[in-house]
Amino acid sequence: MASTARLMAETPHKVLAVDVYNDKIKHLLEPSSLPWADRIQFHRINIKNDSRLEGLIKMADLTINLAAICTPADYNTRPLDTIYSNFIDALPVVKYCSENNKRLIHFSTCEVYGKTIGSFLPKDHPLRQDPAYFVLKEDDSPCIFGSIEKQRWSYACAKQLIERLIYAEGAENDLEFTIVRPFNWIGPRMDFIPGIDGPSEGVPRVLACFSNNLLRREPLKLVDGGESQRTFIYIKDAIEAVLLMIENPARANGHIFNVGNPNNEVTVRQLAEMMTEVYSKVSGEPSLEVPTVDISSKEFYGEGYDDSDKRIPDMTIINKQLGWDPKTSLWDLLESTLTYQHRTYAEAVKQAISKPLASS
């Protein structure tokens, strides 16, 4: 959504936006007096069952496919939907681009890497500290998933298979493609606050989960102690990379790009501590006496959950091909994002909390 805003504001491109809802881009579609009103069209369709999809792809020079179920809470509870969304439903997009000689930028995930080699070593093994055992390289790192009964990997497997199909289309049918592997992009409008701008029963990704807890003055829930390590990148930095892919097809075609910030690595527990401190600063509210609570993955996600220990992207290929590096520190991106979350949602959350429960 943020990339659409940048395309409208800073380029002459026309955009055909396709989704099942337009909530996140309403500000770009209304009012009609906006200077780019004639350069953006919204089409409310579901790509998995709408015959208009091929016609829209034929009209465009480039298709950017971001459609997916990509929330960890869904991988266990909706594994079939997850697999269909990320593989079966993506097949027509790839097919139409290939058959009509249209360029494709496909959004995959850092989850295709699965577990690191180092995660199979004893916890105190010195090789765990060797980058060769945990830094993830597009053209070198193995993709290691958990057992079949761990349905959490349904997402990663579907994403890897569609990557392989796209790569095969390039090899056999000359499809011009770029594959993007995002590493935890965060920022305003990247996710939903349950019951405010998204379903009340939904469980968003980690930043929005923690934001929701902070807005409601509830302890942040740390799954299995919050020991998993992640890197986080500001959405504005990530969009710079995507714009470079759009504008430089000769340097982007045929490549898989990690898009993340290896300098912003923390454990999930450290992220919770930082967010608690930053939110107290931007909201003026004191932190809770008990800011975090531990919860098991089984209790939070249900049966079949598994996780990767560490995700550090190697940035060699994108730096070489596009000259891109991320800029924003974790503290700065959290301060910017939580300022937006507080300004946008704090009052709505207070009103939602103060409403009396309906009598049963």
Gyration radius of the chain's alpha carbons: 21
Q: What is the pTM of this model?
A: 0.93
User: Among candidates 44, 35, 42, which has minimal Cα distance to 8?
Assistant: 35
CB-CB contact of 67 with 85 (8 Å): yes
Per residue of the chain (360 residues), what is the pLDDT tens digit? 667 888 888 888 999 989 887 777 777 787 665 787 788 888 999 888 888 999 999 999 999 999 998 888 889 889 999 999 999 999 999 999 999 999 999 999 999 999 999 999 998 899 988 999 999 999 999 999 999 999 999 999 999 999 999 999 999 999 999 999 999 999 988 888 888 887 877 788 899 999 999 999 999 999 999 999 999 999 999 999 999 999 999 999 999 999 999 999 999 999 999 999 999 999 999 999 999 999 998 888 888 788 888 899 999 999 999 999 999 999 999 999 999 999 999 998 988 888 765 544
Report CA-CA distances (Å) from 218 to 118, 153, 273.
35, 30, 14
What is d(CA 94, CA 280) in angstroms, rounded to the nearest whole number? Answer: 46
Q: Which residues are catalytic?
A: 155
User: Among candidates 273, 152, 151, which has minimal Cα distance to 222?
Assistant: 273
| Range 68-88 burial, b when 16+ CB lie within 10 A, else e | bbbbbbbbbebbeebbbbbbe
What is d(CA 279, CA 220) in angstroms, rounded to the nearest whole number? Answer: 12
What is d(CA 358, CA 356) in angstroms, rounded to the nearest whole number? Answer: 6
CB-CB contact of 13 with 36 (8 Å): no
What domains can you pick out in the chain, each with its CATH number?
45-349 (3.40.50.720)
User: Among candidates 233, 129, 118, which has minimal Cα distance to 181?
Assistant: 233
User: What tokens does 26 get?
Assistant: 């309403």
